């Protein structure tokens, strides 16, 4: 029994879908490689730059980058070291806790992100050819698959705070950070809630 066996796939719709998802995954990998080569980077380096650019500052850690890349912390640390040598990221110590290291993009890093952040537009163009109802159904089904994979620890899950069940909008009106996270018990600014965060749980609709 194998999804790569055409006889098996003829009799099993699940096998057909799974093999198609494998092919789509390969296409995404190829897209990353093509874009990475243009900047003389590896896909892991490109993904790390995008993670640093679009993730909330307090969540940009080696551990979370490792989860995002599905690799060990040691491997993720090596990726970060290589980006630092290329002058694309900057490490800085937390002023209140010297054990914490902050990662941010340098001007060169921001330039590279500007060049690569349209990765995936080829896929999006194809999806736009579907009518709105088809897009909605596809999105719902792929989200279900993604959530199941995240539950099994096979993929990294993250999104903006406003889509999280722990997010409380305007619970501290008048404060510089008016929003609240019931999971981490911290206040959040408007800028914070527009960035991705890994400790995320989808709001049930």
Task: Please list the pLDDT of the chain residue by residue as tens digits (205 residues).
Answer: 798 899 999 999 999 999 999 999 999 999 989 989 999 999 999 999 999 999 988 888 888 899 889 899 999 999 999 999 999 999 887 766 666 778 999 999 999 999 998 888 989 999 999 999 999 999 999 989 988 888 887 887 777 788 788 888 998 988 889 999 888 888 898 888 888 877 666 655 4
Listed in sequence order, the residues at least 6 apart from 129 whose beta carbon sits closer than 8 Å to its beta carbon are: none
**pLDDT score at 82:** 96
Q: How many CB atoms lie within 10 A of CB 46?
A: 23
CA torsion angle 40 41 43 44 (round to 10): 170
**pLDDT score at 104:** 93
**pLDDT score at 142:** 92
**pLDDT score at 90:** 93
**Residue 43 and residue 26 in contact, taking contact as beta carbons nearer than 8 Å:** no
Listed in sequence order, the residues at least 6 apart from 63 whose beta carbon sits closer than 8 Å to its beta carbon are: 73, 76
Strand (E) or helix (H) holding 167? strand 167-168
**pLDDT score at 203:** 55
Which tokens sit at 13? 């719709």
Angle at 26 between CA 30 and CA 78, to 5 degrees: 65
**pLDDT score at 147:** 83
């Amino acid at each position: 029994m194998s999804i790569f066996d055409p006889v098996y796939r003829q009799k099993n719709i699940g096998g057909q879908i799974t093999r198609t998802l494998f092919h789509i995954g390969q296409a995404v990998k190829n897209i990353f490689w093509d874009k990475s080569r243009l900047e003389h980077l590896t896909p892991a380096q490109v993904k790390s730059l995008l993670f640093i650019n679009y993730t909330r500052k307090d969540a940009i850690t080696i551990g979370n980058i490792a989860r995002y890349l599905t690799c060990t912390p040691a491997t993720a640390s090596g990726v970060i070291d290589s980006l630092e040598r290329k002058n694309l990221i900057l490490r800085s110590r937390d002023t209140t806790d010297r054990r914490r290291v902050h990662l941010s993009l340098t001007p060169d890093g921001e330039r590279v992100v500007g060049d690569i952040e349209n990765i995936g537009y080829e896929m999006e163009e194809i999806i736009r050819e579907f009518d709105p109802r088809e897009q909605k159904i596809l999105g719902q089904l792929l989200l279900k698959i993604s959530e199941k994979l995240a539950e099994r620890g096979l993929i990294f899950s993250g999104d903006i705070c406003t889509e999280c069940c722990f997010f409380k909008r305007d619970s501290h009106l008048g404060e510089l950070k008016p929003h609240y996270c019931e999971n981490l018990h911290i206040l959040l600014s408007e800028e914070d809630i527009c960035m991705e965060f890994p400790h995320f749980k989808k709001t049930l609709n």
